[in-house]
Amino acid sequence: MREREDTVSEVVKRLGITYAHYFNKKYGRNGHLFQDRFRSEPVDNMEYFVILLRYIHQNPVKSGIVENVEGYPWSSWNEYTGKCVLGNALCAVSSVLTRLDRQDLMEWVGTPVDEHNDIIDIDTEERRSLSDDDIRTFLLNTHGIANPLMVQSLEKVRRNYVLKSVKGFGAGIRQLARLTGVSFGVIQKL
């Protein structure tokens, strides 16, 4: 999605509210339909795009809905393989296929994603959410840092060590970026 007059957040929010209203009216219920705000990650290079392409198309396989990527009928994958050509294409596949060999892409996307491959920063039920105070306490007790904003002014090697440590403790990338002032991209690369 690209932003024009409305931001992506505004569009997704409006879509969620409209659908929740429709669903609640149809089924005679009240209240929230979606648990959390949607997640978004910047995709600013081809390598990460292809990783996400694989992850997205492998989701129905990983969840046991189908046995292979081609078997999921509501996917855009058949546009990449050339088996389905739509008048109004869902994806700009030609821009991808001019940069990648179709056969290589098909083999790579068709290979199951590693179970322990954390592609996007999403909290799971197994991982407990940390409060900002938990992170402040961890930084103070483990690294002697009283104010999380001090992390950004540390020497690069020490800064990276501290950020990896706090991330390993269970902090999310967005939360660390907000608390320490270090950019999301720098923390994500660590």
Three-class SS state of 181: coil
Using CA atoms, how far apart are residues 113 and 78, in angstroms rounded to an integer?
19
CB distance 59 to 51 below 8 Å: no
Using CA atoms, how far apart are residues 18 and 107, in angstroms rounded to an integer?
39
Using CA atoms, how far apart are residues 151 and 177, in angstroms rounded to an integer?
10
Using CA atoms, how far apart are residues 19 and 6, in angstroms rounded to an integer?
18
pLDDT value for 98: 75
Q: Is the pTM of this model over 0.85?
A: no
**pLDDT one digit per residue (tens) for the chain, 190 residues:** 566 778 877 888 888 888 888 988 988 888 777 766 666 666 777 777 778 888 888 888 888 898 888 888 888 887 777 776 655 555 666 777 777 777 887 887 877 766 545 555 444 444 456 788 999 999 999 999 999 999 999 999 999 999 999 988 888 888 888 899 898 888 888 8
Using CA atoms, how far apart are residues 163 and 11, in angstroms rounded to an integer?
33
pLDDT value for 124: 41
Using CA atoms, how far apart are residues 88 and 76, in angstroms rounded to an integer?
12
Token pair of 134, please? 């938990």
Using CA atoms, how far apart are residues 41 and 95, in angstroms rounded to an integer?
20
pLDDT value for 141: 92
